[in-house]
Structure 1
Amino acid sequence: MLIVAPNTVLNPAALETRQVPKKIFGRIAVLPRRAGPAAWARIALDVQILRYLVALAPFVLAMAIWPRLAFPIAQAPILMVLLVGVVEMRVLRPTKAGRARLIDADAAERGLDTLRFRARAALTRIAARKGIEQERLHLVVEQSELARVPPLTLVSVQIDGPEPRLLPLDAAERAILSDGLFDAELTERDLLRINLREESFLRDVSLEARAVSAHARLAARMEAARAEAAE
């Protein structure tokens, strides 16, 4: 899971938006400030042109090994298109029938209920910590459509209002998301199965900031005070 916020990416200007929820996959490149080699490799896998190059690598290799076949291979674009299509639609994505078998409808609805409950709890804590009182917050969970590779999940907190935007999140707020959304009961892979079944890869859970209770705001202030004292 990657938490996307103006202070967690190398290209914050790309996060500017005129409306929320802002869709990220297929529109902007996510360049996290802190990510290991595995995370960067997974991000690269979602770049379509790079996947095409990987799919066509056998043709390039064949031309390198058997130079006399270079011209005939180069004259076979239909085979290349077919190979790319097989990789994209059969290897990396399940068929329509396969999507229906990933998870049953009842389990999918239970998973979405769990996500909504956890998302609202996280939004409540974040709104209380930041002292947001009037606007509507959105917790947006977006996943890559690629099925047979590790899930790539982007999570952001977005604000609707006169100035729609993605919120910057400090370490404690990022921990609220990373610790509170997924666990053994609902994993990122579970959510991907649900999304593949329903062919919907962006989940948006909203919360009116004015609905955050005084108790939650007091608890947030006490938590912040304890964190400052610990430092």
Structure 2
Amino acid sequence: MQKAPSHFAAWARGATSDGMSMFILSPETVWNPKALETGSVPRKVLHRIAFLPKGGGAAMVARVIFENEPLRCFIALSPFVAAMFIWRDLALPISQAPVAMIIVIGFFEMKVLRLSPDKRKALMTEDDAARILDTLSYRARRVLTRLAAHRGQTSGEIMLVVEQSELAHITPLTLVSVQTREGKPRILPLDDTERGLIADGLFDAEFSERDLHAANLREDIYLRSVTFDARGVSGHARLAALLDAPAPQEATA
């Protein structure tokens, strides 16, 4: 299997790694947290929820906006718009060519931004894809163990949900969230430390977002979730979380 180049730098508050687009999704990392409310988990976000990212800068905002299909249609049709401005006498005939516009949009969406089934299967072998998904499962459980220990959670299930864009020829957009069906199904809030645990523990140079994206493209599945029972947190993990916790500040007179 040919591994895509990986460059990873963790952003604790939910942003991008160098050359990638990972966003840690929680009520604290979006401007419109009510949009994340859900009645079931794992919650699919892309193409269903319009969220406004706080972190990641202009590059992340632009990448999220590009998932908007009407915008991509406008980009595909921009040559027609330009032609109408250049050749004004042909503006009316150009604007009345819906078949040509549909063909251009279809080509842009299916050939430029996506891969055919044969090309998706050729990205890697089935065994390679299975190994990548096993790695995701292992790392997700490790992250969830640390999260549960950090929270002091001793019961209930939490799940790490990783969703990627289905667009192939563009920087992968990866949304990572922690969700639960305990009580009211919801996307959990995450503090700076918890977002840091995800950013540091999920992807790196050995296992990148592009690796997972290639496996997802091959399987044509873009939403992955790993569930963890907090009762499985070891005493060692709880002790480590306690030692890593910031010392309480003494009250000043």
TM range (shorter): over 0.9
Is structure 2 residue 239 aligned with structure 1 residue 218?
A: yes
Is structure 2 residue 151 aligned with structure 1 residue 125?
A: no
Is structure 2 residue 194 aligned with structure 1 residue 173?
A: yes
Cα distance in structure 2, aligned partners of 1:30 and 1:110: 32
One of 142, 149, 155 as aligned partner of 2:170: 149
Partner of 2:94: 73
Work out the number of aligned pairs and report it.
229
**How far 1:30 moved relative to its partner?**
2.4
CA 1:58–1:34: 2 relative to 1, 3 Å: same
Is structure 2 residue 111 aligned with structure 1 residue 90?
A: yes
Where in structure 1 are there 5+ consecutive unaligned residues?
none
Cα distance in structure 2, aligned partners of 1:33 and 1:227: 29
Letter of the structure 1 residue corresponding to residue 132 of structure 2 = G
Cα distance in structure 2, aligned partners of 1:73 and 1:225: 64
- TM-score, with structure 1 as normaliser: 0.96
Where in structure 2 are there 5+ consecutive unaligned residues?
1-21
State the 4+ residue runs in structure 1 displaced beyond 4 angstroms.
226-229
The question of whether the paired residues in 1 share the 8 Å contact of 2:41 and 2:181 is answered with yes
Is structure 2 residue 153 aligned with structure 1 residue 136?
A: no
For 1:6-44, what per-residue CA distance to the aligned partner results, in whole angstroms no more than 9, with x for missing partners? Answer: 111111111111111111011101211122111111111
* Identical-pair percentage: 52
The question of whether the paired residues in 1 share the 8 Å contact of 2:179 and 2:185 is answered with yes
**How far 1:106 moved relative to its partner?**
1.3
- TM-score, with structure 2 as normaliser: 0.87
**How far 1:212 moved relative to its partner?**
1.1
Cα distance in structure 1, aligned partners of 2:247 and 2:120: 47
The CA RMSD over aligned residues, in Å, is 1.4
Q: Which piece of structure 1 moves more, 127-136 or 196-205?
A: 127-136
Secondary structure of 2:122 counterpart: helix
Q: Which has the higher helix share?
A: 1
Partner of 1:48: 69
**How far 1:164 moved relative to its partner?**
1.4
